Amino acid sequence: MESTPVNWEALDALLIDFAKSENLIEEDSSAPSPSSSSYHSRLLIRHIRRSLHTGAIDAAVHLLRLHAPSILTDHKILFRLHKQKFIELLRKGTAEDRESAIQCLRTSLAPCALDAYPEAYEEFKHVLLAFIYDKDDNTSPVANEWSERRRIDLAGYISSMLRAHLNAYDPIFSMALRYLISIHRVYCLRQGITSPISDLTERLLLEERDPPATPQDILYEVPPFDEVDIQALAHAVELTRQGAIDSLRFSKGDLFLAFQNELCRMRLDVPLLDQLVREYCVYRGIVDSASGKQQPISEPVKFNQQDPGYCSSRDCSLEIDCNAGKHSDGETSVTNAQMDGSPENNADVTSLRQVDFEVRYASELTSIHEDCSTSGSQQHEDAAALQRGRLPGNGERSKRKRWRGRYDDNSYMPNASLEEHSKQEHSISTVVSTISKEKQGSEKLSVHDVSNVEDRYEILLGVKELASRGMAAEAVQEVNAIDPNFFAHNSVLLFQLKQVEFLKLVSSGDYSAALKVACTHLGPLASSDPALLKPLKETLLALLRPNEDALGNALPLHALAASLQVAVGRRLGVEEPQLMKIMRATLYTHNEWFKLQMCKDRFEGLLRIDSLKEANTPFLAPVSISKSYADSCTNGSSQATVSSGTRTSEDGSSPTQVSSRDVICDEGAILKVMEFLALPRADAIHLLAQYNGNAETVIQQIFA
């Protein structure tokens, strides 16, 4: 699968916003408490979710009364909470709790059942059977009522309602990642191709979703929604048509609010996401690489027992001690096959996955001396000395932020769940400690190796900083000092750096030096690679515009700096962050998916996906990327779509009997075929193209 250029500066901004919104980083050592009301609202939702997962219904209701009392005015929600409380009291099994369950029936559940909703009274009578049938009887009529799955469903439903009620939506990056991964999965499935990032995406975006929020009864009588909005929402987040209508009804017809509600129902593995974000931020110089070492691996980890997407540790990054040793495949890795479905085991397995991720990542970095170029360790020591002496990375280090990690303010935490939470801390702490001891007993890291890792990171950040400042000659000098053979294998990067040097000299008025760079470097490089001839000609045109800022107008220095950092890092044995791979692959499939849909994504502006793709390179040599998606996308709300047989073939979809001339498909016809036949947009367009854009003919032929 190909990749697509990414605007790394835009991604940096999104990730900084994400980290600040989730209170993962500190601007200074005073560690101020988060001030965002959205953060506190999300924190409240997490605590309510955790209380419901552990069966602490009273604690959840108490938090709702304190912070969202209007939610409890909905009798449907109140009835479900009282019913779950009744079951939890019976589950405890003591005579005292049985009396409390009867009291709950009389004072709360029965009165609420009378006016909650039409089916509530029947459900009330049905749940009374829990007095007769044991909780361990899986064949009883009330086995579903006893199931702990009911806790999870109730927690997800309340979370969906609270999220919309409190306007507590996740940060933009978190929602964009869900959306891009979901499109990536659908695209790969429909095209029958294997995703190169499937291992990451399957662990990161969970299959399970929270139940949808439901509108109050007064919202059921609403004007009909625009079919364009219904179809856009249904296909964007994989809903049925009725599901999309219900979602729009809940948001009172606001398409973008409905879209956010549906995205936030998708569940992410939050500890894994935090690890990926931190890895990327360290690599890009946003976060100080040493900031995560404040917490030893043996510190207890607070982890939600039944929610793999939640973590409340002091620092979920779980930094590995320098004596932790290397990780060998299979020692501590945990796969999805080991998830037996029980909430308790899911939490333990998720925490093990988290530890395995950090152990693997740390060991990859500390083993880089095995993968470096043939220059030997002395070359790296010399390079480290160069970096310490000349690169600007040391000056920039003071500007980096400090990674704080994810932990939750206990002021919202109900006392009823503290005991269970404490037990789990001890359990996970034991697991982590055991893994650490096993590692220490096998292979150990030397202080020299750890030092090299830090030096290499500083070297990479220094080279990146030089390139991003337009200091191309200095960047070339430093890279040659690190690896004299680097540019022999990366001639395009050398050409791009020399382009920067040439344009910088032109901008300063030193034309003779600029021409010397062109003759000495740009010309010979273009002679050996014909693909560089066109960029060379465009670069030389800068001589005709002496009064303009040629460097500022022509070159995206940050994109070049990122490419240089990745390439030099690979030569040093430091792989690019896995988040970079995810973004390249998912943005590429996003482009290709909307080529198939033959329309523009209506939601890419909301999620800043359009800004992530703004990585134009006017004078730089082209890299291996997909065709521009803009050539075949039209506005999603336009009234006509052009479909041709040639384009259909290029998109890789099934062959159709279409003439070579373009067929104009009316937007109304497309929507009609999508609605009646429940087809994706691309399939509806291809069918219409076969029948000259006539929707009635298509429908008749299908049902004939």
Q: Is 399 exposed, middle or buried (0-12, 13-18, 19+ CB in 10 A)?
A: exposed
What was the pLDDT predicted at 222? 59
Whether 559 and 671 share a structural domain: no
Q: Is residue 142 part of a domain?
A: yes
Cα 350 to chain centroid, rounded: 17
Is 372's pLDDT higher than 60?
A: no
Higher-confidence position of 680 and 63: 63
Distance CA 464, CA 565 (A): 6
Distance CA 497, CA 473 (A): 8
- The top-scoring range by mean pLDDT among 19-28, 102-111, 177-186, 365-374 is 177-186
Q: Is residue 429 part of a domain?
A: no
What was the pLDDT predicted at 101? 92
> Rounded to whole angstroms, what are the CA distances from 110 to 77, 113, 442, 670, 685?
14, 5, 62, 50, 54
The distance in angstroms from the start CA to the end CA of the chain is 39
C-alpha dihedral over 226, 185, 156, 219, to 10 degrees?
0
Say if residues 695 and 669 touch (Cβ distance below 8 Å): yes
Is 441's pLDDT higher than 80?
A: no
Is 326's pLDDT higher than 80?
A: no
Distance CA 537, CA 548 (A): 18
- Would you state the structure tokens that stand for residue 187, as one six-digit string? 């695209």
Distance CA 182, CA 603 (A): 14
Q: Is residue 218 part of a domain?
A: no
What was the pLDDT predicted at 439? 37
Q: Which of 475, 527, 465, 519 is nearest to 496 (CA)?
A: 475
What was the pLDDT predicted at 670? 78
Q: Is residue 319 part of a domain?
A: no
Q: What is the pLDDT of residues 465-522, one digit of tens each?
A: 999 888 999 999 999 998 899 999 999 999 999 999 998 888 888 889 989 999 999 9
What was the pLDDT predicted at 108? 92
Which band of pLDDT confidence, cut at 50, 70 and 90, is reported for residue 641?
very low
Higher-confidence position of 11 and 332: 11
Q: Is residue 182 part of a domain?
A: no
Among residues 575, 602, 632, the one where a domain terminates is: 575
Comparing 10-24, 116-130, 310-324, the range with the smallest average pLDDT is 310-324
Specify the DSSP class assigned to residue 25.
E
Which band of pLDDT confidence, cut at 50, 70 and 90, is reported for residue 685?
confident
Q: Is residue 461 part of a domain?
A: yes
Which band of pLDDT confidence, cut at 50, 70 and 90, is reported for residue 699?
confident
> Rounded to whole angstroms, what are the CA distances from 150 to 79, 350, 627, 682?
14, 21, 48, 38
E strands in 74-141: none
Number of domains in the chain: 3
Distance CA 32, CA 22 (A): 13
Whether 37 and 143 share a structural domain: yes
Which residues, in sequence order, are CB contacts of 2 under 8 Å at separation 6+?
588, 624, 625, 626
Q: What is the pLDDT of residues 527-574, one digit of tens each?
A: 999 999 998 988 888 888 765 555 555 567 888 899 999 999 988 888
Q: Is residue 175 part of a domain?
A: no
- Would you state the structure tokens that stand for residue 690, as one six-digit string? 């076969």
Among residues 164, 198, 213, the one where a domain terminates is: 164
Specify the DSSP class assigned to residue 220.
S
Q: Is residue 594 part of a domain?
A: no
What was the pLDDT predicted at 69? 93
Domain that holds residue 138: 32-164
Number of H helices, E strands in the chain: 33, 6
